[in-house]
Chains A and B, each alone.
Chain A
Protein backbone atom coordinates (compact mmCIF):
# COMPACT_ATOMS: atom_id res chain seq x y z
CA UNK A 1 0.00 0.00 0.00
CA UNK A 2 1.28 3.42 -0.92
CA UNK A 3 1.44 6.10 1.73
CA UNK A 4 -0.65 9.14 0.84
CA UNK A 5 1.17 12.45 1.00
CA UNK A 6 0.63 13.75 4.52
CA UNK A 7 1.59 17.27 3.52
CA UNK A 8 -1.26 19.61 2.69
CA UNK A 9 -0.64 20.57 -0.93
CA UNK A 10 -2.76 23.47 -2.18
CA UNK A 11 -4.23 22.98 -5.64
CA UNK A 12 -5.07 25.64 -8.21
CA UNK A 13 -4.01 27.21 -11.49
CA UNK A 14 -0.80 29.03 -12.39
CA UNK A 15 -2.80 32.30 -12.16
CA UNK A 16 -3.78 31.38 -8.58
CA UNK A 17 -0.12 30.69 -7.83
CA UNK A 18 1.04 34.05 -9.19
CA UNK A 19 -1.25 35.80 -6.70
CA UNK A 20 0.91 34.35 -3.91
CA UNK A 21 4.18 35.80 -5.22
CA UNK A 22 5.44 38.32 -2.67
CA UNK A 23 3.29 36.87 0.11
CA UNK A 24 5.13 36.56 3.43
CA UNK A 25 4.01 34.12 6.12
CA UNK A 26 3.32 35.01 9.72
CA UNK A 27 6.39 34.22 11.88
CA UNK A 28 6.35 30.58 12.96
CA UNK A 29 8.38 29.46 15.99
CA UNK A 30 9.74 25.93 16.40
CA UNK A 31 7.90 23.77 18.92
CA UNK A 32 11.17 22.91 20.66
CA UNK A 33 14.62 24.45 21.00
CA UNK A 34 17.70 23.17 19.17
CA UNK A 35 18.67 20.03 21.07
CA UNK A 36 21.73 17.80 21.44
CA UNK A 37 19.69 14.72 20.60
CA UNK A 38 18.55 16.03 17.23
CA UNK A 39 22.02 17.43 16.47
CA UNK A 40 23.57 14.03 17.13
CA UNK A 41 20.87 12.01 15.35
CA UNK A 42 21.47 14.07 12.22
CA UNK A 43 25.26 13.80 12.58
CA UNK A 44 24.81 10.01 12.92
CA UNK A 45 22.67 9.95 9.78
CA UNK A 46 25.36 11.62 7.69
CA UNK A 47 28.17 9.95 9.72
CA UNK A 48 29.78 13.24 10.66
CA UNK A 49 32.13 12.92 13.63
CA UNK A 50 32.73 16.70 13.84
CA UNK A 51 33.50 17.46 17.51
CA UNK A 52 31.30 20.54 17.25
CA UNK A 53 28.31 18.14 17.25
CA UNK A 54 29.54 15.55 19.75
CA UNK A 55 32.01 17.11 22.21
CA UNK A 56 30.06 19.45 24.51
CA UNK A 57 33.16 20.93 26.09
CA UNK A 58 34.88 21.65 22.75
CA UNK A 59 31.65 23.02 21.29
CA UNK A 60 30.97 25.28 24.26
CA UNK A 61 34.48 26.71 24.02
CA UNK A 62 34.31 27.14 20.23
CA UNK A 63 30.67 28.06 19.51
CA UNK A 64 28.98 28.63 22.84
CA UNK A 65 27.26 25.23 22.79
CA UNK A 66 26.84 22.15 20.63
CA UNK A 67 26.67 23.44 17.05
CA UNK A 68 23.54 22.78 15.02
CA UNK A 69 24.65 21.12 11.76
CA UNK A 70 24.07 23.82 9.13
CA UNK A 71 22.55 21.17 6.87
CA UNK A 72 19.75 20.52 9.37
CA UNK A 73 18.49 24.12 9.12
CA UNK A 74 15.13 23.30 7.50
CA UNK A 75 14.58 20.48 9.99
CA UNK A 76 14.28 22.79 13.01
CA UNK A 77 11.08 24.31 11.63
CA UNK A 78 9.65 21.07 10.29
CA UNK A 79 6.79 20.11 12.61
CA UNK A 80 6.56 16.57 13.98
CA UNK A 81 4.56 14.29 11.65
CA UNK A 82 1.75 14.00 14.20
CA UNK A 83 0.53 16.54 16.74
CA UNK A 84 -2.02 16.25 19.55
CA UNK A 85 -4.45 18.55 17.73
CA UNK A 86 -4.87 15.72 15.22
CA UNK A 87 -4.61 18.24 12.41
CA UNK A 88 -2.03 17.66 9.67
CA UNK A 89 1.23 19.49 10.32
CA UNK A 90 1.60 23.00 8.88
CA UNK A 91 3.11 22.78 5.40
CA UNK A 92 5.99 24.94 4.22
CA UNK A 93 4.72 27.97 2.26
CA UNK A 94 6.07 26.47 -0.98
CA UNK A 95 3.50 23.65 -0.67
CA UNK A 96 0.68 26.12 0.06
CA UNK A 97 1.14 27.75 -3.37
CA UNK A 98 -1.89 26.56 -5.38
CA UNK A 99 -0.78 24.63 -8.48
CA UNK A 100 -1.93 21.56 -10.41
CA UNK A 101 1.10 19.33 -9.62
CA UNK A 102 0.42 16.27 -7.48
CA UNK A 103 3.90 15.99 -5.96
CA UNK A 104 7.17 17.90 -5.64
CA UNK A 105 10.95 17.53 -5.55
CA UNK A 106 13.66 19.98 -4.59
CA UNK A 107 15.62 21.64 -7.41
CA UNK A 108 18.05 24.13 -5.83
CA UNK A 109 18.93 25.36 -2.37
CA UNK A 110 21.11 28.22 -1.18
CA UNK A 111 21.62 28.82 2.52
CA UNK A 112 23.65 31.40 4.42
CA UNK A 113 24.56 31.25 8.09
CA UNK A 114 25.62 34.67 9.43
CA UNK A 115 25.80 33.31 13.01
CA UNK A 116 26.28 29.84 14.47
CA UNK A 117 23.07 28.14 15.67
CA UNK A 118 23.68 26.27 18.94
CA UNK A 119 21.93 23.98 21.38
CA UNK A 120 19.19 25.85 23.24
CA UNK A 121 18.42 28.34 20.46
CA UNK A 122 14.72 28.69 19.73
CA UNK A 123 14.26 29.52 16.05
CA UNK A 124 11.50 31.43 14.28
CA UNK A 125 11.03 31.43 10.52
CA UNK A 126 9.35 33.87 8.15
CA UNK A 127 8.71 32.40 4.71
CA UNK A 128 8.22 34.36 1.48
CA UNK A 129 7.14 33.24 -1.99
CA UNK A 130 9.70 34.82 -4.34
CA UNK A 131 8.62 33.50 -7.74
CA UNK A 132 6.61 30.87 -9.59
CA UNK A 133 7.80 29.87 -13.08
CA UNK A 134 5.57 29.34 -16.11
CA UNK A 135 4.83 25.71 -16.90
CA UNK A 136 7.98 23.67 -17.64
CA UNK A 137 8.39 20.24 -19.23
CA UNK A 138 11.05 18.33 -17.28
CA UNK A 139 12.35 14.77 -17.33
CA UNK A 140 10.14 14.05 -14.29
CA UNK A 141 6.94 15.54 -15.65
CA UNK A 142 5.16 18.84 -16.26
CA UNK A 143 5.18 21.45 -13.54
CA UNK A 144 6.24 24.79 -12.12
CA UNK A 145 9.31 25.90 -10.17
CA UNK A 146 8.44 27.58 -6.86
CA UNK A 147 11.13 29.77 -5.28
CA UNK A 148 10.88 30.70 -1.61
CA UNK A 149 13.05 32.60 0.85
CA UNK A 150 13.06 31.63 4.54
CA UNK A 151 14.60 33.92 7.15
CA UNK A 152 15.48 32.34 10.50
CA UNK A 153 15.84 34.38 13.64
CA UNK A 154 16.92 33.47 17.17
CA UNK A 155 14.97 34.33 20.34
CA UNK A 156 17.01 37.57 20.68
CA UNK A 157 15.88 38.60 17.18
CA UNK A 158 19.25 38.08 15.46
CA UNK A 159 19.08 36.63 11.94
CA UNK A 160 21.03 33.37 12.09
CA UNK A 161 20.27 31.97 8.64
CA UNK A 162 18.53 32.52 5.33
CA UNK A 163 17.40 29.73 3.02
CA UNK A 164 16.50 30.26 -0.62
CA UNK A 165 14.89 27.15 -2.06
CA UNK A 166 13.42 26.21 -5.41
CA UNK A 167 11.25 23.14 -5.75
CA UNK A 168 9.57 21.59 -8.75
CA UNK A 169 5.86 21.11 -8.19
CA UNK A 170 4.87 18.59 -10.86
CA UNK A 171 2.69 15.74 -12.03
CA UNK A 172 4.77 12.67 -12.86
CA UNK A 173 4.73 11.54 -16.46
CA UNK A 174 6.69 11.37 -19.66
CA UNK A 175 7.29 14.80 -21.17
CA UNK A 176 5.30 15.26 -24.37
Chain B
Protein backbone atom coordinates (compact mmCIF):
# COMPACT_ATOMS: atom_id res chain seq x y z
CA UNK B 1 0.00 0.00 0.00
CA UNK B 2 1.42 3.34 -1.07
CA UNK B 3 0.66 6.07 1.45
CA UNK B 4 1.11 8.80 -1.19
CA UNK B 5 -1.60 7.33 -3.44
CA UNK B 6 -4.35 6.90 -0.84
CA UNK B 7 -7.17 9.43 -1.05
CA UNK B 8 -9.36 10.03 1.98
CA UNK B 9 -12.03 9.26 2.95
CA UNK B 10 -11.80 5.68 1.73
CA UNK B 11 -14.17 2.84 2.67
CA UNK B 12 -12.61 -0.52 3.50
CA UNK B 13 -14.32 -3.74 2.46
CA UNK B 14 -16.83 -5.05 5.02
CA UNK B 15 -15.59 -8.06 6.99
CA UNK B 16 -17.92 -10.61 8.63
CA UNK B 17 -16.87 -13.30 11.06
CA UNK B 18 -19.17 -15.89 12.62
CA UNK B 19 -18.25 -16.45 16.26
CA UNK B 20 -18.94 -20.04 17.30
CA UNK B 21 -18.58 -21.41 20.82
CA UNK B 22 -15.22 -22.86 19.74
CA UNK B 23 -13.98 -19.41 18.73
CA UNK B 24 -14.93 -17.91 22.11
CA UNK B 25 -13.17 -20.74 23.94
CA UNK B 26 -10.11 -20.36 21.67
CA UNK B 27 -10.12 -16.74 22.80
CA UNK B 28 -9.44 -17.76 26.42
CA UNK B 29 -6.86 -20.31 25.30
CA UNK B 30 -4.99 -17.80 23.16
CA UNK B 31 -5.06 -14.81 25.51
CA UNK B 32 -4.88 -16.71 28.86
CA UNK B 33 -7.87 -14.61 29.93
CA UNK B 34 -9.92 -17.12 31.91
CA UNK B 35 -12.56 -14.73 33.20
CA UNK B 36 -15.49 -17.20 33.40
CA UNK B 37 -17.74 -14.97 31.27
CA UNK B 38 -15.53 -16.06 28.37
CA UNK B 39 -15.95 -19.83 28.78
CA UNK B 40 -18.79 -20.69 31.22
CA UNK B 41 -22.34 -20.03 29.92
CA UNK B 42 -23.84 -20.51 33.40
CA UNK B 43 -21.56 -17.82 34.86
CA UNK B 44 -22.29 -15.47 31.93
CA UNK B 45 -26.05 -15.95 32.42
CA UNK B 46 -25.71 -15.26 36.16
CA UNK B 47 -24.15 -11.90 35.23
CA UNK B 48 -27.05 -10.93 32.94
CA UNK B 49 -25.54 -12.09 29.63
CA UNK B 50 -27.28 -14.52 27.24
CA UNK B 51 -24.11 -16.65 27.00
CA UNK B 52 -20.30 -16.43 26.83
CA UNK B 53 -18.68 -13.54 24.98
CA UNK B 54 -15.32 -12.65 23.42
CA UNK B 55 -12.89 -10.43 25.30
CA UNK B 56 -11.37 -7.04 24.49
CA UNK B 57 -8.30 -8.61 22.87
CA UNK B 58 -10.48 -10.56 20.41
CA UNK B 59 -12.37 -7.42 19.35
CA UNK B 60 -9.07 -5.54 19.02
CA UNK B 61 -7.67 -8.39 16.93
CA UNK B 62 -10.66 -8.26 14.60
CA UNK B 63 -10.22 -4.51 14.11
CA UNK B 64 -6.47 -4.87 13.53
CA UNK B 65 -7.11 -7.66 11.00
CA UNK B 66 -9.53 -5.45 9.03
CA UNK B 67 -6.98 -2.63 8.92
CA UNK B 68 -3.82 -4.58 8.10
CA UNK B 69 -5.52 -6.99 5.65
CA UNK B 70 -6.37 -3.93 3.63
CA UNK B 71 -3.13 -1.98 4.18
CA UNK B 72 -0.89 -5.07 3.65
CA UNK B 73 1.44 -6.78 6.12
CA UNK B 74 4.23 -4.19 6.04
CA UNK B 75 1.83 -1.81 7.80
CA UNK B 76 1.53 -1.77 11.58
CA UNK B 77 -1.08 -0.69 14.13
CA UNK B 78 0.55 2.02 16.26
CA UNK B 79 -2.54 3.18 18.16
CA UNK B 80 -5.99 1.80 18.82
CA UNK B 81 -8.79 3.27 20.93
CA UNK B 82 -11.96 1.28 21.47
CA UNK B 83 -15.17 1.50 23.44
CA UNK B 84 -16.85 -1.70 24.58
CA UNK B 85 -20.44 -0.66 24.00
CA UNK B 86 -21.90 -4.16 23.74
CA UNK B 87 -20.71 -7.73 23.76
CA UNK B 88 -20.22 -10.23 20.92
CA UNK B 89 -21.67 -13.55 22.12
CA UNK B 90 -21.13 -17.09 20.91
CA UNK B 91 -23.49 -17.53 17.97
CA UNK B 92 -23.20 -13.88 16.89
CA UNK B 93 -21.62 -12.62 13.69
CA UNK B 94 -19.12 -9.78 14.03
CA UNK B 95 -19.39 -7.26 11.23
CA UNK B 96 -16.60 -4.73 10.74
CA UNK B 97 -16.93 -1.64 8.58
CA UNK B 98 -13.85 0.54 8.30
CA UNK B 99 -13.12 3.91 6.77
CA UNK B 100 -9.85 5.74 6.33
CA UNK B 101 -10.62 9.21 7.65
CA UNK B 102 -7.25 10.97 7.56
CA UNK B 103 -3.65 10.65 6.45
CA UNK B 104 -0.84 12.38 8.29
CA UNK B 105 2.90 12.57 8.09
CA UNK B 106 4.34 12.78 11.59
CA UNK B 107 7.51 14.85 11.23
CA UNK B 108 8.16 15.11 14.98
CA UNK B 109 10.23 11.94 14.68
CA UNK B 110 13.14 11.05 12.44
CA UNK B 111 12.50 9.39 10.05
CA UNK B 112 8.97 10.77 9.66
CA UNK B 113 6.06 8.36 10.16
CA UNK B 114 3.47 7.93 7.40
CA UNK B 115 0.14 7.42 9.17
CA UNK B 116 -3.48 6.65 8.32
CA UNK B 117 -6.35 7.17 10.75
CA UNK B 118 -9.04 4.52 10.38
CA UNK B 119 -12.47 4.30 12.04
CA UNK B 120 -13.95 0.83 12.35
CA UNK B 121 -17.42 0.08 13.67
CA UNK B 122 -17.87 -3.47 14.91
CA UNK B 123 -21.55 -4.43 15.03
CA UNK B 124 -23.35 -7.71 15.53
CA UNK B 125 -25.65 -9.37 12.97
CA UNK B 126 -28.56 -7.25 14.21
CA UNK B 127 -26.70 -4.04 13.39
CA UNK B 128 -26.17 -3.15 17.06
CA UNK B 129 -22.93 -1.20 17.55
CA UNK B 130 -20.77 -3.26 19.91
CA UNK B 131 -17.38 -1.62 19.53
CA UNK B 132 -16.42 1.63 17.82
CA UNK B 133 -12.66 1.66 17.13
CA UNK B 134 -10.26 4.44 16.20
CA UNK B 135 -7.03 3.04 14.87
CA UNK B 136 -3.82 4.51 13.47
CA UNK B 137 -1.75 2.57 10.96
CA UNK B 138 1.87 3.28 10.15
CA UNK B 139 2.85 2.57 6.55
CA UNK B 140 6.37 2.13 5.22
CA UNK B 141 7.80 5.50 4.21
Interface segment, B1-9, B28-36, B97-105?
B28-36
- Number of A residues with CB within 8 Å of any CB on chain B: 51
- Which residues of A have CB within 8 Å of B64? 46, 48, 69-71
A41 and B29 contact, CB distance less than 8 A: yes
- Which residues of A have CB within 8 Å of B29? 41, 45
B60 and A62 contact, CB distance less than 8 A: no
Alpha-carbon distance between A64 and B93 when the two chains are bound, in angstroms: 35
- Contact residue among A6, A44, A71 (Cβ-Cβ distance under 8 Å from B57): A71
A108 and B30 contact, CB distance less than 8 A: no
- Contact residue among B33, B77, B79 (Cβ-Cβ distance under 8 Å from A78): B33
Residue B43 CB within 8 A of the other chain? yes
Alpha-carbon distance between A49 and B5 when the two chains are bound, in angstroms: 25
B46 and A111 contact, CB distance less than 8 A: no
Within 8 A of A (CB), among B68-126: 68-69, 73-74, 76-84, 87
- Contact residue among A70, A79, A112, A140 (Cβ-Cβ distance under 8 Å from B48): A140
Task: Output the nearest chain A residue to B87 by Cβ-Cβ distance.
Answer: A105
A1 and B42 contact, CB distance less than 8 A: yes
Task: Output the nearest chain A residue to B85 by Cβ-Cβ distance.
Answer: A107
Within 8 A of B (CB), among A49-96: 49-52, 58, 62-63, 67, 69-75, 78-81
Also in contact, A111 and B79, with CB within 8 A (given A103-B47, A105-B84): yes
- Which residues of B have CB within 8 Å of A75? 30-33, 57
Alpha-carbon distance between A79 and B33 when the two chains are bound, in angstroms: 9
Alpha-carbon distance between A175 and B63 when the two chains are bound, in angstroms: 32
A2 and B43 contact, CB distance less than 8 A: yes
Residue A120 CB within 8 A of the other chain? no
The size class of the interface chain B forms with chain A is: 35 or more
Task: Output the nearest chain B residue to A110 by Cβ-Cβ distance.
Answer: B81
A98-138: CB near B (< 8 Å → 1, else 0) gives 00000101111111111010000000000000000000000
B65 and A50 contact, CB distance less than 8 A: yes
A110 and B80 contact, CB distance less than 8 A: yes
Residue A154 CB within 8 A of the other chain? no
A7 and B35 contact, CB distance less than 8 A: yes
Alpha-carbon distance between A38 and B36 when the two chains are bound, in angstroms: 21
- Report the minimum CB–CB distance from B3 to chain A (whole Å): 16
- Which residues of A have CB within 8 Å of B39? 3
Task: Output the nearest chain A residue to B133 by Cβ-Cβ distance.
Answer: A109
Alpha-carbon distance between A130 and B34 when the two chains are bound, in angstroms: 25
- Which residues of A have CB within 8 Å of B36? 2-6
A74 and B26 contact, CB distance less than 8 A: no
- Contact residue among A72, A105, A112 (Cβ-Cβ distance under 8 Å from B31): A72
Residue A42 CB within 8 A of the other chain? yes
Task: Output the nearest chain B residue to A41 by Cβ-Cβ distance.
Answer: B30
- Report the minimum CB–CB distance from A93 to chain B (whole Å): 16
7 A-B interface contacts by CB (under 8 A) = A45-B27, A50-B73, A71-B58, A75-B32, A110-B79, A165-B56, A172-B47
